[in-house]
Structure 1
Amino acid sequence: MMEEVVTHRVLGHALAQSDPRPGEPIRVLDVGCGTGDGLALLTESHEGLAPLVAENELDYFGIDVDPDMIDTARSQHTGRRAVFEVADMRTGLPDGDFDVYMSCGVPYSHLPHDEVVEVLSTIMEKIVRTRDSAVIVVDVLGRYSLEWTPHWPQTRWPYNMSFFEDATETIHDQMSFFDRRSLDAALISAAANAGARLAGLTFTDRSIVVGRHTATLAFNQAIPPYRSLLNDLARGHTDVNPADLLLRNPAGHAPAQIQGFFALLTDRWNSIVTQSTRTTNGLTSPQHARLLAKSLLACEQQLQQGLGVGHSLAATAVVGPSTVH
């Protein structure tokens, strides 16, 4: 109910904006595909949401620079209508044209900001050369996540990638962080380089309060473990203390728009908690706990404005040739 529901919505919007050739499968290039989670997000149901595309109506091509990731993707998706290849997005984009250039799992954040522009420029040049339009989904780490308020002044810093709450092994890498303004600037620069036109540009924040590092507390130990608490609620645990769920307006240097967003979110989030437990002083049943989890996640997702205030930020753009000569 956290990442996958939001990513499902982002990818559904991208597919709806695409323009595949009549009678042919939609062609998708998953840039930085990892172990092929994008294929599952496109073709499988999530939390009652129907698959976005039937597998026989999809030509899926996933690339990743990590051979181990590609080996795992191939083994997990044996027999499916999908191709996985080792390739570096900076130098090894496959030939051919695609209806959608998707990403999930923040692959672009592995690159310095200038290289993000270079990769996007190359993709847009391919689109301009080969077709009338295609859709790009650019997934990056959000700069102003409450998971790492001490790092808000920085746009690139050493990040520990830990994917499980109790895992001791982490991957250390320099990662780039974006807000809406900087990601928008990267897309505009790339379009100018490629002689391309941007249309239908949207931004979506994902996991604002429930980013994974509110569980690991790897970068900010001054916050409650919101993700763990929401997971407990969703499992029907009634021993969660409602006071622990209350959101604190994050203390970090940020533009006024970011501060205003968090003030609004804090007010709405805390109102849901207090209203839900006002007469009971606690959670009365597993159903009560699950309903509170659902309400809080809906609050986070409905209030998002695509500002770069979540764990990750996704931009979706329709790209075509420039009409200016």
Structure 2
Amino acid sequence: MNTTAATSYRDAKAHYTSPKRRDPVKTMLEEVVSHQVLRDAVGRVRSRPDQPLRVLDIGAGTGDGLALLTEPHGGLAPVTDDGRLAYLGVDLDPGMVETARSLHAGRPAEFEVADMRAEPPAGDFDLYMSCGVPYSHLPHADTIEVLTGLMRRIVETRDSAVLVVDVLGRYSVEWTPRWPETRWAYNMSFFEGANETVHDQMSFYDRGSLDDALVQAAIGAGARLGAVTFTDRSILAGRHTATRAFNQGIPPYRTLLNELARGATDVTAAQLRFKPPAGDVPQRVETFFATFAERWNGVLASAGELRAPDQAKRLAQALFACEQQSQQGLGVGHSLMATVVVERPTGD
């Protein structure tokens, strides 16, 4: 999502609509994780069964969130379908909105140009979602302000709703040299079709800082937080493990995993081996990486030498499963997702 006039996404539209963007890592891991998060979120919605699921997608871009809700991913059935959905996607970039309208014409979905920092669109929504790290475009204080506005809208219109907040993970191995910082110049050099690298100042979160933002927003809105869960996505498979734009010393994990998933047998365990990064991090992050390294490297060791494409594909699946089963929602992946039930305090 474009949230500042200084950032132009016109050329980057080619990236969002390119079939090449949906590489095996995206379709077999990232979309599956996002699908599971949204399925869990929808499962927490308290609404009448005769009403459609009312969704506000913040920073909707070209409508990826609509696809995550209504299409199968990795063998998972769709979260919902067009007949039970009323969807509104908002984005600041007119080109993205125009593309989304064209791609999803004829569906129960609307797309509007809107700034997430403005007052939320009129309406009573069951789910306020995001899936493209729009909140990371904002300074931390602005994110709290936006979340406060959304929570205030919830307590003014209903007893409860569910909020999915998607941000960049502070402690991703993609940018270990930047771990001490929480906002820095992020170059989106993976955009296909862009004439130049897209630059933007982005904010990064771990579990503690995102939880703090949610708590501050709830206090400001007079809301109560119900169940809160955190999910890491793409621990070793983020797009910048392929570009290595922020960490030249990291193996190109995403590239190697894509090759495995396509059946390449010349990818070796040594290329994929993971050594826990060193740095001044919270103890639970350090412990996570040590434990994750044991599990990841154990999967590689058990696979043995790859002699056939099917073996390579099975190893890719096993490594994707290792990521999903190991994550703890600490902010150690490319992105960190929080699923929050926002409630009106009893007695109001």
The alignment status of 1:305 with 2:332, answered yes or no, reads: no
Task: Work out the percentage of aligned pairs sharing the same amino acid.
Answer: 63
The alignment status of 1:8 with 2:32, answered yes or no, reads: no
Instruction: Give SS of 1:259's match.
Output: helix
Give the residue type in structure 1 aligned to 2:292.
Answer: L
Of stretches 17-26 and 147-156 in structure 1, the one that deviates more from structure 2 is 17-26
Give the residue type in structure 2 aligned to 1:57.
Answer: R
- Could you tell me how far apart the structure 1 residues matched to 2:190 and 2:65 are? 17
Q: For the Cα contact (< 8 Å) 1:165–1:215, is it kept in 2?
A: no
The residue aligned with 1:62 is 89
- Could you tell me how far apart the structure 2 residues matched to 1:169 and 1:71 are? 22
The alignment status of 1:156 with 2:183, answered yes or no, reads: yes
**Which residue, 31, 35, 44 being the options, matches 2:71?**
44
The alignment status of 1:321 with 2:344, answered yes or no, reads: yes
CA shift, 1:54, in A, is 1.1
Of stretches 203-212 and 244-253 in structure 1, the one that deviates more from structure 2 is 244-253
The residue aligned with 1:188 is 215
- Could you tell me how far apart the structure 2 residues matched to 1:166 and 1:193 are? 42
CA shift, 1:251, in A, is 2.4
- Could you tell me how far apart the structure 2 residues matched to 1:214 and 1:12 are? 28
Instruction: Give SS of 2:338's match.
Output: strand
The residue aligned with 1:273 is 300
Give the residue type in structure 2 aligned to 1:46.
Answer: H
Q: For the Cα contact (< 8 Å) 1:25–1:57, is it kept in 2?
A: yes
Any gaps of 5 or more consecutive residues in structure 2?
Answer: 1-27
Task: Kindly tell me the number of residue pairs found equivalent between the two proteins.
Answer: 321
The residue aligned with 2:114 is 87
Note the aligned Cα RMSD (angstroms). 1.4
Of stretches 123-132 and 46-55 in structure 1, the one that deviates more from structure 2 is 46-55
What do the CA deviations read for 1:81-136 (whole angstroms, capped 9, x no partner)? 10000000111421011000000010000000001100000000010000010000
- Could you tell me how far apart the structure 1 residues matched to 2:83 and 2:346 are? 35
Give the residue type in structure 2 aligned to 1:84.
Answer: F
Q: Which runs of 4+ in 1 moved over 6 A?
A: 165-168
- Could you tell me how far apart the structure 2 residues matched to 1:166 and 1:151 are? 27
| Closer/same/farther in 2, CA of residues 166 and 236 from structure 1, 3 Å limit | farther
Q: For the Cα contact (< 8 Å) 2:190–2:243, is it kept in 1?
A: no
What do the CA deviations read for 1:182-232 (whole angstroms, capped 9, x no partner)? 000000000000110101100000000111100011100101000010010
- Could you tell me how far apart the structure 1 residues matched to 2:97 and 2:259 are? 33
**Which residue, 251, 254, 266 being the options, matches 2:278?**
251
Any gaps of 5 or more consecutive residues in structure 1?
Answer: none
Q: For the Cα contact (< 8 Å) 1:165–1:216, is it kept in 2?
A: no
The residue aligned with 1:283 is 306
CA shift, 1:275, in A, is 1.6
CA shift, 1:19, in A, is 1.4
Give the residue type in structure 1 aligned to 2:130.
Answer: S
- Could you tell me how far apart the structure 2 residues matched to 1:153 and 1:231 are? 30
| Closer/same/farther in 2, CA of residues 16 and 238 from structure 1, 3 Å limit | same
Give the residue type in structure 1 aligned to 2:37.
Answer: V
- Could you tell me how far apart the structure 2 residues matched to 1:100 and 1:230 are? 33
Q: For the Cα contact (< 8 Å) 1:20–1:27, is it kept in 2?
A: no
- Could you tell me how far apart the structure 2 residues matched to 1:165 and 1:192 are? 41
Instruction: Give SS of 1:140's match.
Output: strand
Give the residue type in structure 2 aligned to 1:299.
Answer: C
**Which residue, 194, 199, 212 being the options, matches 2:239?**
212
